[in-house]
A and B are shown apart, each in its own frame.
Chain A
Amino acid sequence: MKFLFVRQAVILAALALAPGVGEAIYFRDKISWRSAILPSKMVTVEQAHAWGDTAIWVDARPDDEFASDHVPGAISLNEDHWNELFPQFSTAWSPEKKVVVYCSAQSCDLAREVAERLRKTTQPPMENVFVLEGGWEAWVKRNR
């Protein structure tokens, strides 16, 4: 009886592999196996600096962290106060500008979430939205 459970479970688990692999191939360009953000949607501090005034810096960290320090000229935009903060961002944004979103460090997820929301929910959808590699920590390391 016990072996019947195990044998059937193994067969089902093996059968599920085939469509899973198929889907992984189908979605190969939409997700990275190495990092939560696609390499094409990330930007280094150096690259972002090179964009100069054509880039808008968005701070996705909580309000208190933004208040204590932030990239000069950055706009605060986080998930907690999206509706209150978004108007300020939208007045600064124009289609030809690139948006650089950052949070505290490489491991944080806030920047990705804000970038994703900007890409998906805004009208028209923003294409040039990038997440800063290494986040605020990387910016501090490079500039101070």
Chain B
Amino acid sequence: MKKTSNIESLDNAASFGVGRWAFDVRHFLWRIVDFILAGVFIYAGVLKALDPVQLAHDIDHYKILPWTIGVGLAFYLPWLEILCGLALIFRRFYRGALSILTALVVIFLVATIAAKVRGLDITCGCFGHASQNWSFPAHLALDLAILAALVVLCWCSVAQSACECLTSAPVVRRVSKTA
């Protein structure tokens, strides 16, 4: 009885170790994605915060919002992006940051497509002057890639606690069986 228990506990430990290792690798990969996204948003936010006047004009080119609201957003949005980027790095208000960034990218995508449909020749202003010569497909591809990464991170964030439970669940079950 005791021997069986030892073998089972070794088996448990091995499966737990492999599961834990797989979880750690996955966690590490998500952290890399976190850092890449955070870098993108902090970079974009800093560029825009340095030139809010240009950003206000870029927002105005979409012809969606009144000028006054565009100016307000030009002062506000860059800092929101920077804060959310920092939140991704330090994992403070992490889920809030993910939801804000996802909403921002979705709104921006819709606005860009709407502008294109209406035949407006716009510069997105996403990365200040650096993005002025980007084509519409390039904008779209980058935004969709960022959106995909954000959605995956959102999903992981929600499922993370469930993942942790799954990794440790077999151990709990087998130990209780031997007992």
Contact = CB atoms under 8 A, between A and B. Distances in A.
A30 B93 contact: no
B135 interface: no
Main secondary structure of the interface of B (DSSP, over half): helix
A5 B99 contact: yes
B90 interface: no
B52 A8 contact: no
Given A1-B158, A4-B95, A33-B71, A16 B52 contact: no
Interface in B25-81: 49, 52-53, 56-57, 60-61, 67-68, 71-72, 75-76, 78-80
B94 A8 contact: yes
Contacts of B79: 16, 19-20, 23
Most central of A11, A12, A13, A17 by chain B CB within 10 Å:
A12
Interface string A1-39: 100111111111101110111011001001101111000
A23 B52 contact: yes
Interface residues of A, number: 28
Interface of A: 1, 4-13, 15-17, 19-21, 23-24, 27, 30-31, 33-36, 109, 112
Interface of B: 49, 52-53, 56-57, 60-61, 67-68, 71-72, 75-76, 78-80, 82-84, 87, 93-100, 158
17 contacts: A4-B95, A5-B96, A8-B93, A8-B94, A9-B93, A11-B96, A12-B96, A13-B100, A16-B79, A16-B82, A21-B75, A30-B53, A34-B67, A35-B67, A36-B57, A36-B60, A36-B67
